[in-house]
Amino acid sequence: MIRAYLLPAMLLLLGVNLSYAETAAPAPGSNPPPRVFVLPVTGPIDKSMLYVFRRAFQEAASIKPNAVIMELNTPGGALTETREIIDWIRSLQRQGCPVYAYVNPDALSAGAMISLATKGIFMSGGAIIGSAMPIAVSPTGGVQELSDALNEKMLSAVRAMVVGLCQENGHREEIAVAMVDINHPDVVIDGEIICPKGQILNLTAHDATRVSQDDGRPILARGMADELAGVLAMIGMSDAQVQRFSPMRVERLARWITAIGPLLFGLAVLAFVIEYHTPGFGFFGFAGIVLMAVHLFGHYVAGLAGMEELALILLGLILLAVEIFFIPGFGVTGVTGIALLIIGGGLAIIPHIPDVPPLSGLDPVTWDSFLPGVFRQFLISLVIIAGGIFILHKYLPRTRLYRSFVLANDMSASEGFVSVDVEAQQALLGQDGVAYTLLRPAGTAVIDGRRVDVISNGDFIAKGSRVRVIACQGTAVVVQKIDEADADQGTAGAEKSGDA
């Protein structure tokens, strides 16, 4: 009975699905709606914000939207981070993706510079843009006084940058210069001085969108919109599919991890050093792995370390582990592992630089400009490692924890302790046996029916190989590998001397 209704039901479901597919599918010849990527810029522009930007621009480049809108609400920030963000914007636009700025409600200082890097600026009703004069900040956070020469050097670079951005994107150069240089000429629009010399320019939304009667262009912004939908309408993408970027909390955590990166790296190496000097694999080995993983995780989230850098560091750790635990001495494998760690760690500190030509009047940002920071972080790590090793050797033996692991009392012969039976050991000289374990070069062999700790004469000897005792040096029993013919001759010789 059930089977009788099964076929009609399946045909009905198939018809519904086909009709839905016809309704959902775009009509032949119609274009899909444009895609717009919205990137919120909220709060100070610092290193943690830069980490967010790196991931955001990489995500935008991967989805290839028709436009990017940066929604700005920022009081400004550091010039170094701002310049990298501007280069990311220019890189996207060179790939054919226009970037627009939506000031909602403030784009001050670095926020104004970022707005100038876009193809068009839009503002909400109560928005303000401007006050982009650079200032030097001391390590304590206050404003640092500079000499006139140094101040002019810093100001001229910023002035050249904003002028270059205006030339690329069609903004008014005199407006940009008035935002960054207090000694600018009077800014005159339609015969009216809107910013006299000696003042830094700030523009409200109404002032910025005012259209000049002389050339028919707005002073700065192309229009006002209280919502993002209004901006989409003004750029001709009202029907766009909007994808809003969402920052992750872990990216703010990455800022602190990278800030203490040299400490984490140094402590990880110290943990591996302690683990190397202790038997087995325990707490310090796991601690070193965790510290190194946190160090790499922070740099990966920060957009500094990619899969290539992580692969180099992982391969370096593997080679070091092979050198320490499987190969006697320290040779090419260990040196290669250390070199890979240094190269991978160095590359993990250098960010990926957007491929854009420099603005007129500015030197290009190249990877070698980050080398001083790389050397500084490595120097800090080396100081931590050297200081840690010195402290461990000097003070660790005096601690109660160390004494709990180390035998402090002597084991004298008068108390019945015997380190080795010298006569019995000398009797092994010339005898043959079988390698009970792999000798690399130390291991165990069965000689005269008992297990003996031995060491080879430098060669690796496989388990089950025939060996002969060639020397007894103190507590060490030295053996060498022999073939079956040598073993038979040794046995025959021993029997002949026994008969005599």
Nearest to 470 by CA among 424, 412, 431, 442: 431
341: left (phi over 0), alpha (psi -120 to 50) or beta: alpha
How confident is residue 366, by pLDDT bands cut at 50, 70 and 90? low
Residue 298 forms part of a structural domain: yes
Question: 118-177, pLDDT tens digit by residue?
Answer: 999 999 999 999 999 988 776 666 667 777 787 888 888 899 999 999 999 999 999 999
Residues 368 and 445 in one domain: no
pLDDT of amino acid 420:
60
Residues 61 and 174 in one domain: yes
Looking at the 3D structure of the chain, how many domains does it have? 3
Range with top average pLDDT, 100-114, 247-261, 323-337, 354-368: 100-114
Residues 150 and 296 in one domain: no
Tokens of residue 498, six digits: 């026994």
Residues 169 and 265 in one domain: no
pLDDT of amino acid 414:
58
pLDDT of amino acid 175:
95
Residues 394 and 430 in one domain: no
Contacts of 471 by beta carbon, 8 Å cutoff, 6+ apart: 429, 477, 478
Last residue of a domain, one of 343, 364, 398: 398
pLDDT of amino acid 16:
39
Q: What percent of the chain has pLDDT over 90?
A: 30
Last residue of a domain, one of 198, 225, 244: 244
* 3-state SS record for the chain: CHHHHHHHHHHHHHHHHHHHHHHHCCCCCCCCCCEEEEEEEECCECHHHHHHHHHHHHHHHHHCCCEEEEEEEECCECHHHHHHHHHHHHHHHHCCCCEEEEEEEEEECHHHHHHHCCCEEEECCCCEEECCCCCCECCCCCECCCCHHHHHHHHHHHHHHHHHHHHHHCCCHHHHHHHHCCCCCCEEECCEEEECCCCCCEEEHHHHCCECCCCCCECCCCEECCCHHHHHHHCCCCCCEEEECCCCHHHHHHHHHHHCHHHHHHHHHHHHHHHHCCCCCCHHHHHHHHHHHHHHHHHHHCCCCCHHHHHHHHHHHHHHHHHHHCCCCCCHHHHHHHHHHHHHHHHHHCCCCCCCCCCCCCCCCCHHHHHHHHHHHHHHHHHHHHHHHHHHHHHHHHCHHHHHHCCCCCCCHHHCCCCCCHHHHHCCCCCEEEECCCECCEEEEEECCEEEEEEECCCCECCCCEEEEEEEECCEEEEEECCHHHHHHHHHHHHHHHHC
Question: If you average pLDDT over residues 70-90, what whole number do you get?
Answer: 90
Strand partners, 73: 42
pLDDT of amino acid 305:
56
Residue 29 forms part of a structural domain: no
pLDDT at 280 over 70: no
Residues 361 and 476 in one domain: no
Residue 289 forms part of a structural domain: yes
Residue 74 forms part of a structural domain: yes
Question: 5-62, pLDDT tens digit by residue?
Answer: 433 444 444 443 434 333 344 455 567 899 999 999 998 888 777 777 888 888 888 8
Q: What are phi and psi of 38, to 5 degrees?
A: -105, 125
pLDDT of amino acid 28:
53
Residues 432 and 384 in one domain: no
pLDDT of amino acid 485:
64
If one compares 87 and 269, the residue with the highest pLDDT of the two is: 87
pLDDT at 370 over 70: no
Residues 208 and 300 in one domain: no
Q: What is the CB-side half-sphere exposure of residue 12 using CA atoms within 13 A?
A: 5
Last residue of a domain, one of 364, 398, 432: 398
How confident is residue 489, by pLDDT bands cut at 50, 70 and 90? low
CATH code for the domain in which residue 236 is found:
3.90.226.10
pLDDT of amino acid 165:
94
Q: What percent of the chain has pLDDT over 70?
A: 73
Mean per-residue pLDDT over the chain, rounded: 79
Residue 141 forms part of a structural domain: yes
How confident is residue 349, by pLDDT bands cut at 50, 70 and 90? low
Residue 15 forms part of a structural domain: no
Q: How far apart are CA 58 and CA 94, in angstroms?
A: 14
CATH code for the domain in which residue 459 is found:
2.40.50.140
Residues 320 and 444 in one domain: no
Task: Provide the residue range defining the domain that includes 445.
Answer: 418-499
Residues 223 and 254 in one domain: no
pLDDT at 270 over 90: no
Residue 234 forms part of a structural domain: yes
Residues 370 and 280 in one domain: yes
pLDDT at 430 over 80: yes
Residues 239 and 258 in one domain: no
Lowest-pLDDT range of 68-72, 302-306, 476-480, 494-498: 494-498
Residue 18 forms part of a structural domain: no
